[in-house]
Structure 1
Amino acid sequence: MLLCRVSAVSQTLARWGRRPPWGGGLLRRAVSFTSSRCHGVGSGEGGARHADSGSAQGGYRDTVLLPHTEFPMKLSGQKLLDREVEIQQKCGFAELYSWQRERKSKKEFCLHDGPPYANGDPHVGHALNKILKDIRNRFEMLRGRQVHYIPGWDCHGLPIELKALGEVGTSGLSPLQIRQKAREFAEGAIARQKAAFQRWGVMADWDQCYYTYDGAYEAAQLKVFQEMFSKGIIYQDYKPVFWSPSSRTALAEAELEYNTEHVSRAIYATFPLVKPPPKIAAEKGLEGVSVLVWTTQPWTIPANQAVCYMPNAQYSVVKRADNTQLLLVATERTASMAALLGTQLESVGTFTGSQLEGGICKHPTLPDKDVPLLPANHVTMDKGTGLVHTAPAHGMEDYSVASHFKLSVECMVDEDGKFTELAGPELQSLSVMAEGTDKVISMLKECGALVKEEQCVHSYPYDWRTKQPVVIRPSKQWFINTASLKDKAKEALQKVRVLPESARGSLLAMLDRRTYWCISRQRSWGVPIPVFYHRETGEPLINKHTVSHIANLFKEKGSDCWWELPIETLLPPDVLKKSKAGPVADYVRGEDVLDIWFDSGASWAAVLQESDPRADAYVEGKDQIGGWFQSSLFTSVAVRNKAPYKSLVVHGFAVSENGDKMSKSLGNVVDPDVVINGGQDPIMPAYGADVLRWWVAESNIFSEVQIGPTVLNLARDNIGKLRSILKFLLGNLQGFDPRVQAVDPKQMHYIDQYMLHLLREFSIKVTDAYSEFDAGRVIRTLQAFLTRDLSSFYFSIIKDRLYCEPEDSLGRRSCQTALEEILDGVTRAIAPILPHLAEEVYLHAPGHDQGETLFKSGWIKSSSVWRRPGLEEAVEGACAIRDLFLSSIPGKHAAQYDLTIAIEPGLLFELMESLQEEPTSTSSQLAELMMAARVSLVSELPCDLPPDTLLNHGTFLINLEGGVIREDSAYSIAVVPTSAARCPRCRRYTVQSADCLCPRCKTVVSQAH
C-alpha cells in the first residue's frame, strides 16, 4: 500500500510525537525550469498511438480494445433539434418538477419567479432570466432539495391593453369589452412564451403557473391592500402625480423612462415686485425691481402661486446696462446672467435670502394675482437665477411649499394634457406641451415679462409605454406612504444577501427617491380598487368588511364581477351594517384599478407558501431595482415587517454583440427561436437549446450580456469539445459495469486514485460556484479540468493500459473505474447547464438500469475516500520529474527513451518508490506516468552513463503539516535513447527484437486465440 511502509523519515516523525505526513496537506514544488503537469505529449503519444489510429500490424488489431460507443461525436441541423426534443420526451422533462415535489426532502429551495409581461413574443431577455433561474433550480434539485418554483405572468396593465385594442382604441367599448380583448391578448402571449420556456428546458409544472388575472391571485392581493389600508399606509389624496396624457392615466416613477435628449423652450421671465421686502423698500433707488425667474416649462406660469428663494444664499439687485431695468437675482448667478443677456449687470444692492421675506410680486399674465416670495430648501444655484417659479399643481417640491404655506393647488390641465377653462379663454383646450406653451410665451412677450427664450436640452420623464412626455398635475389618487416604510425597508435589506453586492447601493438610492407611490390607474384592465364613493359627498367607503367581501367574490368569480354584478351584491346589507354606512343607493363603485407594480409586488402573498412566505432568491434584471424588487419589499415590510426574499440576484441586460441595446430599427435583435431553430441567414444556423443555455451560463451576468453569431459559435464549439471528451470516456467504458466490475479505490492504480482525488476537488469547486449563482465559474472550472487534468494529462497516460492490457486485468478495470466516476461527475456537473446533453450521455453510460434518468439520480457522488493527500504528493512529485523529463526531449517521443531518476534517500525517494518498488521497470506506475520505455529509480546516478545522455536537475519542495515539516528534495534525471525494439502490437519500446511481442502482449494474444 502507498505510503504505509515505515521509513527513516516517519520514524523521525514518530520520535517527534507526530503522525507521518502521508495524510498531510498540499505541497508546493520548485523545479529548475518553467513547466507544469499539463506540459507533455499529446493524447496520441505513448503505447497506444498506433492502436488508436487503427494501424496495428498484422493480425493484432483485433486484440486491441479500441473505444466504441453509439454516442455521436457531433449533432447539427435538424438531427440536433430532433434529438433535443426526443431527450425531453424520453427523459420526462415535463414531469420532472412534479416528481421532485412529491419526493421526501429535508430541505427546500424556493426561487420566486418574477412575472414577465404577457405582452409579446419571447426574447433573449426572457432566455437570460429563465435559463439562469433554471440552472440554479436544477442544481438544487440534483443535490436533493425540494425546489419550489412556480412560473408566473404579469397580465394586467397598459402595455397589454394598448396592444390588445390596437388602432380600435377604447372608443365605444365598455370596461368588460376592453378587459375581454386584453385577456385574450395576454393569453396568446402567455401561450407563446410558455412554449418557448419549455423548449429551453426550463423545469416547472407548466400546468400550475400563476397569473395576476386569476381570481385567487387577485383575492390575495386585496388582502395585502386591506392590511396596508388598515395601517394607514394606503390613503387617498389630491396631490401632483406624473400624468401621461398619451395614455390618460397616473404613473408611478417606476413607469417612467427619462429622455436625455428632450428639448424644452426655456424662458426667463419677470415678476414685478409690488410690495418689496422691508430691506429693499428701505433702500433708495430700488424702485421698480422685478424678480427674474427661469423655467423649462413655460406652460406652468399661469398656475404660479409663489416665487421661492434660498434663505441662506445671497441675492443682488442688478441694473442692466442696456435698458436700466432692475432685476433681483442670486449673486452667484449674476455673471452667467450677464453673459446670457449680452449686457453688463451692475449690482446696486445686496441682500441675504432671509431678507427677502415679506416681498410680494405681481403675476405677469394675471394682473390681479399677487405672488409671495417664500423660502424653500429645494432652490439650487447650479442653473437659472436662484429664484424658482413655483406652481404647486405641477411640481413635487412646489407642492411641498404649498402644503407648508397653505397655498392653493388648482389644476388647470385636464387628463388629455390640455388647459381647462380655469386657465382662461385664451388658453382653454390648448395642449400644454405644444400650442399651449407657444401661447403662454406669446402672452409673456405681450406684457413685457419675457426677458429671454432659449432651447434647453435636458432629461425629461416619458411614459415608458407610449414613449411620450408626461406632465405633473394634481389628481385625486390612491397612494402608499413609502416615506413611512423606508426605515423598515432599509433595515430589512440589511438581512438580505445581494449579488452583486454593488447593487445594494442602487437599491437603497431608489428607496430614498420614493417619497410616495401612486397606486391608482385610470384604466379598465387591472384589479379594481375595492372602494365605493358616496354619490353626494364623494367620500370613499372602504374598510376591512368591504374589502374582505370583494376579495371573496374575486376569488370565486374573478375581478370581472366588479363590473358584472349589481352594486347590491358587491355591497350587501350585512357589509353596509358592519361598515355603519347608509343605504346602498347612496354609493357608486370606483373606476380606478391598481398599479401593476402593486399587482406583481404582492406576488409573495399569492404564490409563496404560507408557512414561511420568504423566497430563498429573487432573480431579475437590474431594471427591477426600482420595480419588482422594490414593490415586493414595500408590500412585504408593510404587512409582515420583513423582506419577501433572503437573497437578490441582479443581472444585466442582453445586448448585441457590439454591446448595443437591441432594436428592431437597428436590425440587431437576436430572436431565441432563431438561435435554436436557425434562421434564413446562413450566419444563424440551428444551434439548439443547449447552446442558448451555455451562452447564459458562460456570460458574466452581472454586466451587460452580449449575444450574436461569434458568441454562439464559440458556445457551440465548446460544447463540441465537451462531446468529444464524453465520447472518449463512453467509448472506453464499453462493456464495463461499475456495479460488479469496479475496483475498490484502495486497490486502484495510484494515478487512477489521484484522478478521483482531483475529481473530488473539481466537484467541490463546481458545487460552490453553482451555490453562488456563478455558472460562469462552473464552466471555467470544467474546462480547466477537461483540458489540463484529462486531455493533456490523464488521457495521454492511460491509453496503453486501456487498449492493450487484458480486458479484465486489474490495471484496466482500475482505469475504467476512474473513467466511469469521471464521466459520471462531469455529466452531473454540466447537467444544470446542458440538461439535454447530460441526459443523452446518461442514456449511453454504464451502471444504471434502463429508463433511469440523470436528474432523478442525484448530484456528483464524490467520496471522502477519494481525498488522498499522501497520494497526491506522490503523483505531484512524479509529475514534477515528468515535466523535467519531457522538457529535456522537446518534440521527441517519450516512449523512445530510457529514464533514470536519482534521488537521495528521504521523503521524495519513498514517494517515488511507492510508484515503482523495483529498481528498474518498463511496466510500473512510474513508467506509465513518465510514458518512457524504461524507468530506473536509484539513489545516485551511475558513473558509466553513455556519452549521449541528457542530464538535468530539479528540486521538489514538500510542505506538510502547515509548514511544520518541509523537505526540499533534489533530484537528477538521465535520459538516453532506448536500445529496445518496438512491440508490433502495443508499439512500446520494450522488446529485444522488432519481430517479438512484449511479454504482456504475448499473453494477451495467446489468450485471445
Structure 2
Amino acid sequence: MSAGLGVILGQTKNLFSYNTKSLLLRYVQTSENVNPKKYTASILLPQTKFPSRISGKKRVDMDKYLLEILKDITIRSKIIRGQRVHFIPGWDCHGLPIEMKALISLKESAMNLTSVEIRQKAQKYANEAISQQRDVFMSWGIMADWKESGCYFTHHTSYVINQLRQFITLYEKGLVNRDFKPVYWSPSSRTALAESELEYNEQHVSKSATIRLLLDVLPPALESLKGHPVYALTWTTTPWTLVANEAIAFAEDVKYCVAEDSEMNFYIVAENLLNKIQEKIGILKPSITITGTELRGGRYLQPITGLSSPFVPGSHVTTAKGTGLVHIAPGHGMDDFLIGLANKLPVLSLVDENGCYTADAGPDLVGLNVLNEGGKAILNKIQSNVVHTENYQHSYPYDWRTKEPVIVKASKQWFINTSALKQQALDSLQNVSVYPVCNSASSTNSLTQQVKMRPYWCISRQRVWGTPIPVLYYRDTGDIITNRDWNERLCHLMQKYGLDCWWELPIEKLAGKKLLRELGVDASELERGQDILDIWFDSGISWSTVLPDGKADLYLEGIDQFTGWFQSSLLTSIALQGAAPYKSLFAHGFAVDDKGHKMSKSLGNVIDPEEVTRGGEDLKKKPAYGVDTLRWWVASHGTQHTLVPVTEKLLKGSAESVQKLRLIFRFLLGALHPYPCDTPIEPEYHYLDKYLLHQLYHYDKRIETLYSNYEYHNACRVIIHFVANTVSALYCHLIKDRLYCNSINSSHRAGAVDVISEILAVLTRSLAPILPHLAEEVWLHHPDNLASVPLFHSAHNLPKDWDQPSVAKVIENALDIKAAITKLATINTWELAATITLNPAQYSIVTALQKDESSTTSQLCELFQLSAITLIAKDGIEDAVIDLKPIEKSLCARCYRYPEPQPGKLCARCDDIISHLST
C-alpha cells in the first residue's frame, strides 16, 4: 500500500483526523537531526467546525434546529433540479378504525350513544391523531405546507360537499345504483367491507364437509342409471351456506366419473379426484364417464328444503381440490351470484348483520352464529347427506381491524358499476408509468388483473363516522329519492349547520318544502339513509378536490394500494373525467421484522420510528440515530422489496453509512478552509482534477436518472460507492500532498481546492433528498455560505465541458498501471523510483501525464506516488513492465514526498515555501 502523507495521517480510516501528533511522530522517525515542530505551521491542514460525529441529545437537538429550513425524497429530488412541486398532505379521517378507536374506551356505554355523539368522539380522536402525526412528519423533514390551510382532510366540510356532488354525478350517469348483492360482511364490525379491508388468515380452520345430493332428474347421458340412487358429491368449507343452496355448478370441459359404492349407490365426481374421494368415503367402482356439459338437464333435491334444483355450468369450477362439483348459494358468494344472474336463480340470504340466522331460516336455526354453532346445526340437520367431515386449514378472509373472520352475504348496498368502466380503465393504464422500474411489470400486471377481476364495487358502509350517502327513502317501499337540486340543498345545509345536520335535522328540514311538494308526500312518509360512503370512495375522490387539473404527475403509496387507493382513484376518475388521475405510480414495500413477520404490538416486534430518530429513555441502549438514518434506511430498503426488514442491524448499518458520509464531508469542508492569500490565484488543473470533474458530471447524470425513476435504493448505492471510492480513496488520497504541502498561493493547490468545492456542491445536492439534515448541516458550514442561505435556495449547474472522455481514457489507463505497482511495492512507494516500459499505444496515452522521459515532479509521479519515473516505449509487449528500485536518499522531513538533497535538508519545494514564510 502506497504511503506518503496519506500514511502519515493514516489511510482511509483516519483520512479525516486533523491531529498533528501523527505528523510530528512521523517527522521524528524520518530524521533524527531535524526538529519537525518548526514546520508544523507551514502545513495547510483542513480546518472546519463541522463536527465529525453528533450523537445522543445533540443529534436530536440538531434535527430540531434544522427543521426551520428543511423541506422529502421525491419532492426534494425534483426541487433540487429546479422543478416546481405541488405537494398537499392529506388525511383519510373517516372509517371504522377511527370510530372503533374512539369508542373502545367507553366499552358498554358506547352502545347508548347517539349517532351524533359517536361522530363527535370520532372527530375528536381523528383531530388528535392528525396533530400527532403532523408533528412526526414535520420532525422527519418532510417538505410541505403543514398549516391546516395547506392540507386536505376527508372530514372537512368542503371535502364532504365535493363528495356529495361527485356522487350525484355518478348517480345521474347511471354508474351508481342500490342493489341486493353479496358483499364481504364483518359480523364483528357489523358492516360491509371491501377486498382491501381484508387480511387472510393462513391458519384458519373450517369444518369442511363432503355432501351427497340425490338427483331427482337424471341428465340424458345417465338415463341408463334410472331406478338407482344417483348422487352428486360436493365439498364445502362453509356448510352454513347450504341453507341458501340454489344449484350445483360443473366445469363444462372436465371429465366426470359416475362410480358405484358397495351399496349400489352411484356418485358423480371429477374423474381425476376419484382416488382422493375414495380415501374419504371408501371404495368406488367407476361405471360411466361423461363430460361436464352432459350434466345439463340434471336436477337434484336441495338438502334443506327438498326442492328440485338445477345443475348449471360454472367457469370458476376447478378440479384442484374438492369433488369437481360446487354447490351454489347466490346470496353468499361473488361467483355464485354471477352464476345466479346468468341462470335466473333466487338470491337468498338468511343471515343478519351479527352473522346469525334469521327467523326465515327456520325455528331450529334462528339466532345461531353461522361460523360456529350454525354450521354444526346444518350438518346435524342434513346428517343423511353428509358422507365425510374434517377440519380443514386454509386461507380465510378476516376483518383487518377486528381480526375476526368475515362472511359473504347478500344485502342491500350501493354499488359502482365497474363493468361499465373496466375497459376504459384498462386502456388508460397503458399510458401510466409504474415505479420502481425493477418492479414495474409485476406491479402493472397486478393492478390490471385487479381491475379485470373486480365484478362490482360496494361503496356503502353501515356506520356513522363518514360521509352520508345523500339519499332519502320511502318508508313503505324503500324506493330511492335523490336528485341534483336536492343534493345542492343538502350541501348548503351542511355549510350552514355543519356535517352532523344529516343526523340532527328533522326529515322535513332535510327534504325541504320543494322536494316534498314535488313528491306530493308528507315528511313522515320518508326516512334518511343510514349508510355512509366507503372510505375508499372517500380517498379515491381526492383528485377532484386537490388537483387543479384532475391529474397528478405521481401517486405514491404502499403496494397494498393496488387494491385500494390506486384502484379507487382510477375508477372514480374514469367515471367522472374519462381519464386516469395520475401519470405515474410509485409503490413501496412494507416493514417487517428480521423474521419476515408483519410488525404488531401483540407480537412485541414493533420498532417505533420516533425511537429510531430520538432514541429511547436510555440512550446507551436505544441510541438516537437521527432523522437522516431513518430516511437512509427507507431509501435503501423501501423500494426494491415488497417486505422490508427493519432491524437493529440494518438501522446500525444505515447509521454507519451516514457517518461515513459525514466524515468525508468533514474532510471536504476542511479542505476549503480559506487560508489568507495576498493575491488572487488562477487555478491550474491537473489531469486528475479534470478526471474527477468528468466523473462528477456523469455521477450527477446517473443520480438524476435514478431519482427520476424513483430508484432510491440504487441512488444510495451509487452515492456511497462514488463517495467512498472515486472521491475519498482516489481523489482525496492522491491530492493530499498538493493540498497540505504546496504553498498557499500555488495554482496547482488552487486547482485541487476548486475541484473539492465542486465535489462538495454536487454531492451535497445529490444526497439532500435522502439526507436533508446532513446536507443542510454541511451547507451551513460551507465557507462560501456566509449568510447561512438554505441549500434549496442555491442553484448549481454543471458545465458540459466537464465531460472529457479523452481525459478519462488517460487516467483510467494510468490507474491500471498504478494497480500493478501497488501489488509489487513492499515499502512506501514514495521511497521508490520506477522504470516503466509500455507498448507504443500505452506510451502515447500515459505521456499526457509526463512529457519528459524521466521526471520527479510529473503528474504521473503524483498519481503513482513515486519519487521518480522513467518511461520507455517498446514494441511487442502487451502489459506494462515495471521495475521498482529504492531511492538512495531519505525523504523530505516536511512533505515526506521528495528526496532531500542532503541529510537534514528539505526538498526544493519545501525549502522555497519555508524560505518565503521566514521572510
**TM-score normalised per structure 1:** 0.83
Distance in 2, matches of 1:357 and 1:279, equals: 9
Q: Deviations over 1:451-494 (max 9, x none)?
A: 22222222222212111111222111100111221111111111
Question: Secondary structure of the equivalent of 1:222?
Answer: helix
Mapping of residues 445-524 of structure 1, within 5 Å: 445=383, 448-499=384-435, 500-501=439-440, 502-524=442-464
Which of the numbers 54, 63, 72 marks the counterpart of 2:42?
Answer: 63
User: Which runs of 5 or more structure 1 residues have no equivalent in the other structure?
Assistant: 1-38, 97-133, 942-952, 956-969
* Deviation of the 1:544 alpha carbon: 2.4
**Contact 2:218-2:226 within 8 A present in 1 as well:** no
Distance in 2, matches of 1:317 and 1:373, equals: 15
Mapping of residues 967-978 of structure 1, within 5 Å: 972-978=881-887
Q: Which amino acid aligns with 1:515?
A: P
Which of the numbers 504, 527, 532 marks the counterpart of 1:588?
Answer: 527
Residues 1:516 and 1:54: Cα distance change in structure 2 (over 3 Å): same
Name the counterpart of 1:10.
Answer: none
Question: Secondary structure of the equivalent of 2:99?
Answer: helix
**Contact 1:47-1:987 within 8 A present in 2 as well:** no
Distance in 1, matches of 2:808 and 2:289, equals: 84
Moved more, 137-146 or 749-758: 749-758
Q: Deviations over 1:711-758 (max 9, x none)?
A: 1111111222212211111112111699x95745xx423322222122
Name the counterpart of 1:118.
Answer: none
User: Which runs of 5 or more structure 2 residues have no equivalent in the other structure?
Assistant: 12-18, 28-35
Distance in 2, matches of 1:349 and 1:898, equals: 96
**Contact 1:256-1:463 within 8 A present in 2 as well:** yes
* Deviation of the 1:386 alpha carbon: 3.4
Question: Secondary structure of the equivalent of 2:38?
Answer: coil
Name the counterpart of 1:882.
Answer: 818
Name the counterpart of 1:225.
Answer: 167
Distance in 1, matches of 2:821 and 2:243, equals: 91
Name the counterpart of 1:372.
Answer: 310
Question: Secondary structure of the equivalent of 2:189?
Answer: coil
**Contact 1:216-1:556 within 8 A present in 2 as well:** no
Which of the numbers 546, 551, 558 marks the counterpart of 1:621?
Answer: 558
Question: Secondary structure of the equivalent of 1:59?
Answer: helix
Question: Secondary structure of the equivalent of 1:283?
Answer: helix
Name the counterpart of 2:912.
Answer: 1003
Q: Deviations over 1:391-414 (max 9, x none)?
A: 222222332333233333232111
Which of the numbers 922, 926, 943 marks the counterpart of 2:856?
Answer: 922
Mapping of residues 117-266 of structure 1, within 5 Å: 134-166=72-104, 167-168=107-108, 170-207=110-147, 208-266=150-208
Distance in 1, matches of 2:159 and 2:357, equals: 40
Q: Which amino acid aligns with 1:547?
A: N
Does 2:634 align with 1:696? yes
Which of the numbers 289, 292, 296 marks the counterpart of 2:233?
Answer: 292
Distance in 1, matches of 2:406 and 2:186, equals: 5
Q: Deviations over 1:806-853 (max 9, x none)?
A: 112211211111111111211111111111111111111122331211
Name the counterpart of 1:670.
Answer: 607
* Deviation of the 1:587 alpha carbon: 2.4
Does 2:785 align with 1:848? yes
Distance in 1, matches of 2:794 and 2:860, equals: 37
Does 2:22 align with 1:53? yes
Distance in 1, matches of 2:545 and 2:849, equals: 63
Distance in 2, matches of 1:830 and 1:357, equals: 68
Q: Which amino acid aligns with 2:821?
A: F
Mapping of residues 710-749 of structure 1, within 5 Å: 710-735=649-674, 743=682, 747-749=684-686
* Deviation of the 1:230 alpha carbon: 1.7
Question: Secondary structure of the equivalent of 2:370?
Answer: coil
**Contact 2:596-2:645 within 8 A present in 1 as well:** yes
Percent identity for Structure 1 against Structure 2: 41
Moved more, 512-521 or 910-919: 910-919
Distance in 1, matches of 2:586 and 2:729, equals: 37
Which one has more relative contact order, counting CA pairs under 8 Å at least 6 apart? 1
**Contact 1:73-1:723 within 8 A present in 2 as well:** yes
**Contact 2:4-2:830 within 8 A present in 1 as well:** no
Q: Which amino acid aligns with 2:401?
A: R
Which of the numbers 592, 600, 603 marks the counterpart of 2:539?
Answer: 600
* Deviation of the 1:760 alpha carbon: 1.2
**Contact 2:418-2:455 within 8 A present in 1 as well:** yes
Distance in 1, matches of 2:660 and 2:206, equals: 57
* Deviation of the 1:356 alpha carbon: 4.2
Does 2:265 align with 1:304? no
Which of the numbers 802, 805, 808 marks the counterpart of 1:872?
Answer: 808
Q: Which amino acid aligns with 1:86?
A: Y
Residues 1:429 and 1:1003: Cα distance change in structure 2 (over 3 Å): same
Q: Which amino acid aligns with 1:814?
A: G
Name the counterpart of 1:409.
Answer: 347
Name the counterpart of 2:6.
Answer: 44
**Contact 1:67-1:732 within 8 A present in 2 as well:** yes
* Deviation of the 1:334 alpha carbon: 3.7
Q: Which amino acid aligns with 1:985?
A: R
**Contact 1:152-1:209 within 8 A present in 2 as well:** yes
**Contact 1:737-1:847 within 8 A present in 2 as well:** no
Q: Which amino acid aligns with 2:174?
A: G
Q: Which amino acid aligns with 1:485?
A: L
Does 2:64 align with 1:85? yes
Name the counterpart of 2:33.
Answer: none
Question: Secondary structure of the equivalent of 2:199?
Answer: strand
* Deviation of the 1:370 alpha carbon: 3.2
Moved more, 258-267 or 373-382: 373-382
**Contact 1:48-1:987 within 8 A present in 2 as well:** no
Q: Which amino acid aligns with 1:928?
A: E
Name the counterpart of 1:103.
Answer: none
**Contact 1:622-1:650 within 8 A present in 2 as well:** yes
**Contact 1:884-1:954 within 8 A present in 2 as well:** no
Residues 1:737 and 1:149: Cα distance change in structure 2 (over 3 Å): farther
* Deviation of the 1:351 alpha carbon: 5.0
Distance in 1, matches of 2:137 and 2:9, equals: 49
Residues 1:394 and 1:892: Cα distance change in structure 2 (over 3 Å): same
Name the counterpart of 1:535.
Answer: 475
Q: Deviations over 1:745-780 (max 9, x none)?
A: xx4233222221221121111111111111222222
Measured on the aligned residues, the alpha-carbon RMSD in Å equals 2.8
Q: Which amino acid aligns with 2:41?
A: D
Mapping of residues 328-367 of structure 1, within 5 Å: 328-342=268-282, 344-347=283-286, 352-367=291-306
**Contact 2:255-2:270 within 8 A present in 1 as well:** yes
**Contact 1:224-1:635 within 8 A present in 2 as well:** no
Residues 1:763 and 1:288: Cα distance change in structure 2 (over 3 Å): closer
Q: Which amino acid aligns with 1:297?
A: T
Distance in 2, matches of 1:518 and 1:252, equals: 7
**TM-score normalised per structure 2:** 0.91
* Deviation of the 1:381 alpha carbon: 3.2
Name the counterpart of 1:931.
Answer: 865
Moved more, 399-408 or 311-320: 311-320
Q: Deviations over 1:628-679 (max 9, x none)?
A: 1111111111112211111111111111123332233332211111111222
Equivalences, count: 891
Does 2:833 align with 1:894? no
Distance in 2, matches of 1:669 and 1:807, equals: 55
Question: Secondary structure of the equivalent of 1:571?
Answer: helix
Distance in 2, matches of 1:912 and 1:292, equals: 85
Distance in 2, matches of 1:972 and 1:809, equals: 34
Distance in 2, matches of 1:908 and 1:353, equals: 78
Distance in 1, matches of 2:833 and 2:313, equals: 95
Q: Which amino acid aligns with 2:6?
A: G
Does 2:632 align with 1:653? no
Distance in 2, matches of 1:48 and 1:1006, equals: 29
